[in-house]
Structure 1
Amino acid sequence: MGHWLQRNIVEPGKLPLLLALTAFVLTFLLTRLITRLIRAGKGPFGNVKAGGLHIHHVVPGVVLTVIGGFGAIATGAHGAGVGAGVSAVCFGVGAGLVLDEFALILHLDDVYWSEEGRKSVEVVVLTAALVGLVLLGYSPLGVDDLSHDEVAGRGVALSTIVINFLLSLVSLAKGKPRTALFGAVVPTVALIGALRLARPTSPWARRFYTHRPRTRARAQRRAEAHDRRWSRLRRTMEELLGGKPNPSSR
């Protein structure tokens, strides 16, 4: 475990990223726990107010994100010292607080416990998943003392990165942003997203399916079946992580 951590996390300069991701996830989970306790009227917590003004936690989140971001720049992108670690943690905590209220920023309204507030949970999950994939991914250019086989594999790795990027662009054009995000790191996901039918409202469908009514109809049926299959599971997971929206907001 120690050798893997040194070679795949520390040596490629990913330790600050690991610290930031850990701080990001823990901050989001702790924040959601506290806000759900406040909502239920339990525990010693309460809303922060100053002069009658409700201070949302996105405010300290922005401050910490700025401090962490500028601190990371000051210590260098691949810093491994205490300064880099502190900056990474500050950035992770700040990003967790900000993205927990992503829906508030998007709508410019307090929609935290409304149906629109689900966007915050979705963005946090996507961000954590993507950063986790990047963290665990192979870094062919960041490791020293490579063997002959590893040196030979660098060209293959770089080619794979380029191909993944192009396939992810196709997935994005087909109206599949989540597949595009994960496909940028996982080759199989990128390939599947690029080969499958586009969603009927996507730029790809408008460009290539306009004069192909059968293909457009198949794309519509597939999109509806996909939404029916996964929307309930996604809703359950969002409620488990972020709490149920207010009944009046549905």
Structure 2
Amino acid sequence: MAWFQERIIETDRLPLFCFFAAMVLAFGFIRLSVRLIRAQVRWWPGNITPGGLHIHHVVFGVVLMLIGGVASLAVPPDLVSARSVAGGIFGVGAALVLDEFALILHLRDVYWTETGRTSIDAVFVAIALSGLLLIGVRPIGIEEFYDFDSDPLIPHPFWWSVGFTVLNLALAVITLLKGKIWSGLLGLFLWPLIYIGAIRLARPGSPWARWRYRPDRRRGQRKLARATWREIRLRRPIIRGKIWFQELIAGRHS
């Protein structure tokens, strides 16, 4: 297709495209596999348990990420096909690792528990960020530095770009501390999100709320009450919709 040739191949994004496609397909396959295993479908191979040891697929993911990562560093830049294969291998490994991200985080098997939804969130974040890079959206600050170095006639001084980037990164940290993970991460590419996230109230239970919305202060009590109301009335319906979509793809958690 002309679009693929123009937007992917000619912009040298073919390795990134292979990484993105492999990660999405591998995540879909591994989730289908674990759902069939959980349903005890007879014709589908079960878990890999040599000598009674359950080898989780995160182990294979780490190995594939090492192979793909080292290969991408060793392959010369002009060998686009080889770099694309390495990107695909890395994408498969990333999907297997992120699918069991909650197990790594908690150091125990929480795959089918409510805590295990953290893995789905991690996969969705990785897909979203990779997709933004694939369509050409650059992280905040990258484009400013690039344009300044490539065109000295740009009126913005170098330190203005540095200050703008540092400000955005600080706001992104504040947004994350307020418990707004999606806004904080996507805001690294779409900077208006971090301005909105940094200004608005934090989510109850977030580090920012624990530090700033202290119940022994009247102003803190009011902010905590407003944040709790927003969490119950506004965010929970959205979260229920997100959980429904996640379980539609990944299976229902216990």
Please list, as runs of the form range in 1=range in 2, the aligned pairs for 1:38-57 lying within 5 A after superposition.
38-42=37-41, 43-57=43-57
Which blocks of at least 5 consecutive residues in structure 1 are unaligned? none
Letter in 1 for 2:184: A
Q: 1:161, CA displacement in angstroms?
A: 5.3
**Could you list the runs of 5+ residues in structure 2 that have no partner in the other structure?**
none
Aligned to 1:238: 246
Q: Distance in 2 between matches of 1:178 and 1:94?
A: 23
Amino acid at match of 2:28: L
How far is 1:21 from its partner?
Answer: 1.2
1:126-182 CA deviation, whole Å, 9 max, x = no partner? 211122122224354779xx9x9xx859989x5775554333222123221221001
Take 1:103 and 1:173, find their aligned partners in 2: how far apart are those partners? 20
- TM-score normalised by structure 2 residue count: 0.79
Q: Which residue number corresponds to residue 67 of structure 1?
A: 67
Within a 5 Å distance, the mapping from 1:14-93 to structure 2 comes to 14-42=13-41, 43-75=43-75, 81-93=80-92
Q: SS state of the match for residue 37, structure 2?
A: helix
Mapped contact 1:23–1:92 kept (Cα < 8 A): yes
For residues 85-126 of structure 1, the C-alpha deviation after alignment (integer angstroms, 9 at most, x for no partner) is 121111100111111122222233333222222221121112
Runs of 4+, deviation exceeding 6 Å = 153-156
SS at match of 2:111: coil
Q: Secondary structure at the match of 1:45?
A: coil
The answer to whether the Cα contact below 8 Å between 1:16 and 1:80 also exists between their aligned partners in 2 is no
What's the CA shift for 1:41? 2.6
- Return the alpha-carbon distance in structure 1 between the equivalents of residues 170 and 156 of structure 2: 19
Offset of residue 191 of structure 1: 2.3
Describe the SS at the equivalent of 1:51. helix
Q: Does 1:174 align with 2:178?
A: yes
The residue aligned with 1:109 is 108
d(CA) in 1 for partners of 2:251 and 2:83? 34
**2:198 counterpart of 1:198:** no
Give the drift of 1:10: 4.2
Q: Which has the higher contact order (CA 8 A, sep 6+)?
A: 1
Q: Bigger shift: 171-180 or 133-142?
A: 133-142
Residue 224 in structure 1 maps to residue 232 in structure 2: yes
In the alignment, the residues of structure 1 paired with residue 113 and residue 85 of structure 2 have an alpha-carbon distance, to the nearest angstrom, of: 34
Contact persistence 1:68–1:91 (CA under 8 A): yes
1:96 and 2:111 are equivalent in the alignment: no
Structure 1 position 2, deviation (Å): 3.2
Q: Report whether the alignment pairs 1:189 with 2:188.
A: no
The one-letter code of the counterpart of 2:90 is F
For residues 134 and 163 of structure 1, do their structure 2 counterparts lie closer, same or farther at Cα, with a shift above 3 Å needed? farther
1:228 counterpart letter in structure 2: R
Q: What CA distance in whole angstroms lies between the structure 2 residues aligned with 1:123 and 1:209?
A: 28
- Is the 1:13–1:80 Cα contact (8 Å) retained in structure 2? no
